[in-house]
Structures are given as C-alpha cells and as structure tokens.
Amino acid sequence: MPRRKNQTAPVLGEGGLRRFSGRRIVSFRLTLFRRDSRRVAGSRYERIYPLPPALPTKPEIRYTDAFAAPSLLRVEAVAIMEMEQLVALCKRRGFLFQSSEIYGGLNGFWDYGPLGVELKRNIREAWWRDMVTAHDELAVAPGAPESYEMVGLDTTIILHPHVWKVSGHYDLFHDEMIDCRESKGRYRYDQLLGRWVECEGKRVFVTTDAPGSEAVERIQQRALKLFNLRTKHADRLQWQSDLTPLPEVDDLSVVLGPEATEPGTLTEPREFNLMFETHTGAIRNDNSKTFLRPETAQGIFINFKNVLDSTRVKIPFGIAQIGKSFRNEITPRNFTFRSREFEQMEIEFFCHPSSSAEWYRYWRDRRYRWYVELGLAGDRLQLREHEQDELSHYSCGTADIEYAVPFLPEGQFGELEGVAHRGDFDLRSHMEGKLVRQGDELVVERDAEGNPKYRGSGKDLSYMNQETKERFVPHVIEPSAGADRATLAFLCEAYQEDEVPDEKGKPTKRVYMKFHPRLAPIKAAVFPLVKKDGMPEVAQAIYRALKPHFPVFYDEKGAVGRRYRRQDEIGTPYCITVDGQTISDGTVTLRDRDTLQQWRVDKDACVDEIRRLLNQ
C-alpha cells in the first residue's frame, strides 16, 4: 500500500494517548492497528509534538507512515524514555553510580548500587540457569542438530602474556585514535561524525563527538560559530551531506575538529591497543609484563584439554563462563554501554566441522529468543547477520543481537551480543601459533627468517571420536553477551510512564519499571495499611515467611499510595497489603504492578501465590 504524507486518522478510543494529555512528547513510538487488532506499522519519532491541554472525545494525531484510515481501529502513541530520565532514576533509586563520584568520577567505570547489583545478578543467574544448569543434555533441544552437554568454567583475569600474542590481540586488538593539535582533545577516529557545509565560498567538513540526535544540532552550532553567523542567519549555510563518519573523508585539512576554531587541526589516525598493561612480580621489566584480559574466551580455549580430560563430556558440548573483562577504550561513552571494565557471559561451543553451520544457526536463534522471552520488545530488538566485509579474518559467519538504545540516532542499533562461527581458528592458534589468512586458508604467520612469529603451545588440542576413530580439530560457535549491556537494555525497556489516580482520585504521573519478574530486584513488598490494630505484626509475619524464598521488602512508612509508587519505580512486580479485612477474615490484598489489578488471597497462601505468579 503506498505511503501517504501528513494524513490524519481518528483515534477511536483513548488508546495510548490518554496518558499524555497536556504534555509535549519529545520521543514517541507510533503503532497502527487494523480492525482485526493486527499491528500493521510502527515508527519511532524524535521531535517536539504538541498536544492540546484537553483531548477531544475523538482526538486526531498526525503521523508520517499512514494506511487508509477506514482500515484502522486505533493509533497508539507510547512515549519513549529519554536517556537523561533513566540516568536520573538509576542514581536516585540505587541502580547505578558513577565510580569514584566523590572525587569527580572516573570515566568509563560504573558502580552498581543495592538494586542494580540485584538486577545484574538476576540477569547473570537467568543466563547461567537457562544455558547451563537447567539444560537437558538427554533431549534434543528445539532447532538443535542433536543433544549436547554444557559445563562451566571460571578462569583468571590475568593469563600468560603469550596467550594474547597467538590469539592476535597483541598485534590486532586496537582502535584508531586521532588528536586535535589545537584543543589537545583525543577521539576515536570512527566515532566522529560530521557534515559537509559551504558558506561564503568555503567548504568545510564540520565534526562532533556528540551522540545520537545531538550531533546535528551541535554541528550546526559549530558551523555558525566558524563562519561568525547568528542563528537567524542559519539559512546561509548550504549543507551538502547528511551525517557522515570521519573515515569517509580523505582530506583532513578541510575538517573542523569537535572543539577546534579552525579546520586542519586533526592529526592522521594511528593505532591504539586496547589491552590494559600491568606487571606481575616484584621486578618490573619486559618479562613481567602481563595484561588484564580483554575477553573471557581465551581462558576457555586454553582449558579445552583440561575439561576433556577431567570430565566425560563428548563433542558436541559447550563451556560457559561469566567474568570481568577490561578494554582501554579511547572514548568511553553512552552510560554503561561502552565501559572500560565490563562483564561478559560467553559460551564456547565445540562441534564437528560438518555440523558447525547448523549449530551456528541454532545458537544464533536461541540466543535471540532468550532476550525476547525476558521482555525486550520486538521492534527495538533485531538479529543482524554481518556482511562479508564485516567479518573477522577467522570468522565463517557472525550475527549480532542488537537493541535500539535511546542515545543512538534514529534507526541505529547497538550490539548486545555477538554469535560468531569461529571455525578451528582458536584451537589451532594455541596449538600451532598465531594464524593469518592467505586466500581461503589460515596459515601460521612467520617472521623475516621464516620462523613462526608467535609460537603456539605445541599441545595437541584435537579431539578423538572413540566411536568412529576420527580425529579432528573442533569448530567453535561463540555466543558472547555483555552482562552490563544487557542490564542497560532491560533498564531501558522497563522504563514506563502512565497516569493513575492518587488517594484523592486525581490523575498523577506514575513512573514504573516493567521488569520481567525473573529479573526484578525485589519480587514482592509487604505493607501494613496502618501502624496499629495488629496489622504490622501480621505483615511482619508474612514478610518473614516470604524472605527465605524471595527477595522481599517491608515498608510501613507513609501513605500506602506512596509506598506503591516507590515499589513501582524500582520494578517490584507484586505488593501485599495487610488491612482491616485481614484482621477479620485472614485475607490480604495482592496488587499487580503492571495492570494495577488487586485481588485477595489467604495470608498463609502468600508464599505459594507469589511463587505461582513468578513462574507463570
């Protein structure tokens, strides 16, 4: 059906608009539904959109992607959370703090507060349970070529320095950085964006390091200042391109740096190794040099033979690990999305080369479903296969699970997890030495004398199938997820706003975190309606009955409505209130965070009822 511009359609009913009457929506997602309730279009907008103070009975909303109005049942506009709102909530409610904040903070490092540590722990435990401890190795999982086993591992943060030489990290694990000779600023080369502009016969590429929707506005401000123009003369600027990455510009002499006053101040890009260097032992020299691991995967590969020899696992099987990694990012940014210290949840899955393509597709699809099942929305989550020119030199195929985090420009997604088909690159590297690609083959890289540049361990890391008597080097499928990025995505997805009546029946704004119950830091809160008439004693007894089974919270301070709001804002899915009726018939009020539905259950059945709700 053709697209129609600036078409209006009636909203038959309040839908998602009721919550925003009298407000200005800066970012919102527009969803169109047919009369059969089927979703037919969804678009995200980032603009100031005025709404009348009081909506008419049949309000209208103007949208860009429109279908014929007679086929529509309703249009829903749902506000999209701005990043500043989430950052403020995270600090106010104890999810995340800037590291070393009392000393001005340390860029690229973040501390998890009392609620944040519980949320992140729940995400780790959900991953570990779903991938390892709850896995049924006797059955063939849906979509899997055959049954398989899973085991765990916990390796050290500091490994033998030769590990990083044969893996390629010592030579290849770098980003390109660029400096400004005028401002002394340092930037990651591929993160600078800019636009071509011409004014008064002069053509300049104006850059910024601002993220997302801020970039265009910042670039215009920089251009006005460069040409000594006021805002009212902005029409004199002749823009000749959209946002363009700096690497696509060949001549740096016409580039205006993000904080420079004139073009041509940026240096040529140069490589910057991302590994944190340290030393072990009392003597500090080249022999004592080691590195904080930039990934957890290598610890699994060098223990492959130990796991085979100490367990009864047979290929295919996977080794899982959760642990800290460190990367000395040039410009850490976007809250916890790009940090210098972060936590990974990785699986190295070993399989026969002939079935590796099937296993790659299985793990790619399974890992995507995991995020969906825990509540990430379909229109903000995508599975993207890498193009051929994006693949690493060792990869036979890679897919990214990506999420549209709010700080990115419209239409862009950030990586939550990569699922890579690594072939036999890693095990061969640790057997033979550092590998490089020559044509279609991986061969040992050699120095000027023809010797291996970095020798491998010399250990045999092949696998012998005792039934078929076949010996082979297993292929590896690697699902690698970031625990911190997953935590941030779940925080972004959970943030919701609506209006609910207060104690006097007046509509008031409510902020609530719509966490999946498995991930919620606190599973239930227990309140006495008032601090008298025996209600606190009953509430405390219920709290003590729940505490051995779930993280629960007891609160008797303030009006019960305010207590509800406090729990909504931290994502507690259920609240239990002891009231006057409890004293007479032994039942309590149970309240659902999302629907606000309330129902009564026996006070002695609270443990079973909360368990049932969490498991449904």
pLDDT at 16 over 50: no
Highest mean pLDDT among 171-175, 476-480, 500-504: 476-480
pLDDT at 81 over 60: no
Residue listed under structure tokens 């050290």? 156
Question: Is the domain of 308 the same as that of 396?
Answer: yes
Q: What is the pTM of this model?
A: 0.79
pLDDT at 237 over 80: yes
Neighbours of 76 (CB within 10 A): 19
In a domain, 510, yes or no: no
Residues contacting residue 193 through CB under 8 Å, at least 6 positions apart: 207, 208, 209, 215, 219, 243, 244, 245, 246
Question: Is the domain of 357 the same as that of 437?
Answer: yes
In a domain, 470, yes or no: yes
In a domain, 502, yes or no: no
Task: Give the end of a domain, one of 57, 80, 103.
Answer: 80
Q: Mind listing the pLDDT tens digit for each residue in 389-421?
A: 776 666 678 999 999 988 887 778 999 999 999
Cα–Cα distance, 93 to 113 (Å, whole number): 8
Which tokens in the block code for residue 56? 């008419």
DSSP 65: S
What CATH number corresponds to the domain at position 141? Answer: 3.30.930.10
Q: Mind listing the pLDDT tens digit for each residue in 265-291?
A: 999 998 888 899 999 999 898 889 999
Question: Is the domain of 403 the same as that of 300?
Answer: yes
Interval 320-343 mean pLDDT: 90
Question: Is the domain of 428 the same as that of 369?
Answer: yes
pLDDT at 17 over 60: no
Q: Mind listing the pLDDT tens digit for each residue in 454-470?
A: 999 999 999 999 999 99
11/146: higher pLDDT = 146
Give the number of domains in the chain. 4
DSSP assignment string, 415-442: EEEEEEEEETHHHHHHHHB-EEEETTEE
Question: Is the domain of 296 the same as that of 422?
Answer: yes
In a domain, 214, yes or no: yes
At residue 558's C-alpha, the angle toward residues 557 and 561, to 5°, is 120
Predicted pLDDT at 213: 66
In a domain, 479, yes or no: yes
Interval 226-239 mean pLDDT: 91
In a domain, 495, yes or no: no
Question: Is the domain of 475 the same as that of 333?
Answer: yes
Question: Is the domain of 194 the same as that of 216?
Answer: yes
Predicted pLDDT at 500: 82
At residue 515's C-alpha, the angle toward residues 513 and 521, to 5°, is 90
Interval 192-205 mean pLDDT: 93
Question: Is the domain of 133 the same as that of 146?
Answer: yes
SS3 331: coil
E strands present in 404-523? 414-423, 435-438, 441-444, 463-465, 470-472, 475-482, 495-501, 507-513
Interval 484-495 mean pLDDT: 95
In a domain, 135, yes or no: yes
440/107: higher pLDDT = 107
Question: Is the domain of 311 the same as that of 440?
Answer: yes
Predicted pLDDT at 395: 66
The helix-helix angle for 483-494 and 83-92 (nearest 10°) equals 100
Computed over every residue of the chain, the mean pLDDT equals 85
C-alpha closest to that of 421 among 390, 455, 397: 397
Predicted pLDDT at 113: 95
Question: Is the domain of 306 the same as that of 421?
Answer: yes
Question: Is the domain of 69 the same as that of 47?
Answer: yes
What CATH number corresponds to the domain at position 584? Answer: 3.40.50.800
Long-range interactions of 369-374: CB distance < 8 A, separation 24+:
370/127, 370/130, 371/401, 371/403, 371/416, 371/417, 371/486, 371/489, 374/126, 374/490, 374/516, 374/518, 374/519
Domain ranges, residue 330 = 115-173+290-488
Q: Mind listing the pLDDT tens digit for each residue in 177-192?
A: 899 999 998 898 988 9
Cα–Cα distance, 44 to 61 (Å, whole number): 14
Question: Is the domain of 314 the same as that of 350?
Answer: yes
Cis omega (within 30 of 0) for bond into 142: no
In the chain, % of residues over pLDDT 70: 85
Residues contacting residue 134 through CB under 8 Å, at least 6 positions apart: none
In a domain, 418, yes or no: yes
